[in-house]
Amino acid sequence: MKVVLLVMLCLYPFISLAATAEMLVTKLSDEAYLLKSANYNTNTGALKTSRGIVLIDPMPGENNLRVLSKQLNGIYGSQHIYVLNTHQHDDHSGGNSYFVNAGAKLLSSTIDWAEIKTVEVKSHSSADNIFFHRSSNSIFVGDIYDTDWHPTFYAGGVAGFVSAVDAILELGDENSLIIPGHGKPTSKEELKKFRQNTLDWVSEVKALKESGLQLSEIQHNEQIKKIFQRFNVENRAVFVPEKAFIRFIERTLAEIDNAL
């Protein structure tokens, strides 16, 4: 963990970090913070605007949300809160009702405020929202891109994934900070590598399928294992469980068939 934080500080010297027993708080700028529960890996954004605080992807869990609410009050004081979601999966929207019940306003449609621009795409889910926070030059991309997992482009297929990444790259500039749905913040260069690794993965799975290999044979193919490890940017000893690896191959094969 110390190595990851050191790399982040080297890449983005404006970032400051404060860890508590329950939550990691990352200051991106005076107007933008990233918050992550110690026991839940969803990246939650808190952005200051002229209308109030915009909260992106509040994670579920009663205790998580109490701590998150306390942190927000400590950072910004008592201000009106608006809630946005990059998509509607529970790990990114499970905290909506907690804040709505406390008086927040849930924004269900895309917005284009002075401080925040939204782009809607179809990749990880049928309606993925990308949020660009202009003043901090940060782009919140949800699960279109994770830095601690393999790609999950199942709603939009490979074409939707590529289109979504292109949309992200068109926002901001080359110094923009990319906030994935899960995992460490990173750069556009790393996102480009992720896109290429994804395309290499799909191409290799397709080639092996066309050569007549079955799932179990693809699973043990050395080239497939090498490409898969490119997604393991944190160099974890066990990147994902074997069942998840097999499931990823299955889902990739299904997307290849859907594209035919």
Task: Report d(CA 151, CA 172) in Å as an integer.
Answer: 23
Residue linked to tokens 């939650």: 44
Say which amino acid occupies 142: G
pLDDT (mean) for 183-194: 97
For the segment 122-160, what is each residue's pLDDT rounded down to a tens digit?
A: 999 999 999 999 999 999 999 999 999 999 999 999 999
Contact assessment for residue 164 and residue 130, using Cβ atoms and an 8 Å cutoff: yes
Say which amino acid occupies 14: F
CA angle 166, 29, 35 (to 5 degrees): 80
Dihedral of alpha carbons 73, 79, 85, 89, sign: positive
Task: Report d(CA 65, CA 179) in Å as an integer.
Answer: 20
| Predicted TM-score (pTM) above 0.75 | yes
pLDDT grade for 17, boundaries at 50, 70 and 90: low
Task: Report d(CA 140, CA 121) in Å as an integer.
Answer: 13
pLDDT grade for 18, boundaries at 50, 70 and 90: low
Cβ neighbours, 10 Å, residue 159? 13
Residue 49: both structure tokens together: 């605007």
pLDDT grade for 9, boundaries at 50, 70 and 90: very low
| Domain architecture of the chain: domains with CATH | 2-259 (3.60.15.10)
Task: Report d(CA 195, CA 230) in Å as an integer.
Answer: 11
Contact assessment for residue 83 and residue 100, using Cβ atoms and an 8 Å cutoff: yes
For the segment 217-240, what is each residue's pLDDT rounded down to a tens digit?
A: 999 999 999 999 999 999 999 999
Say which amino acid occupies 52: G
Contact assessment for residue 69 and residue 99, using Cβ atoms and an 8 Å cutoff: yes
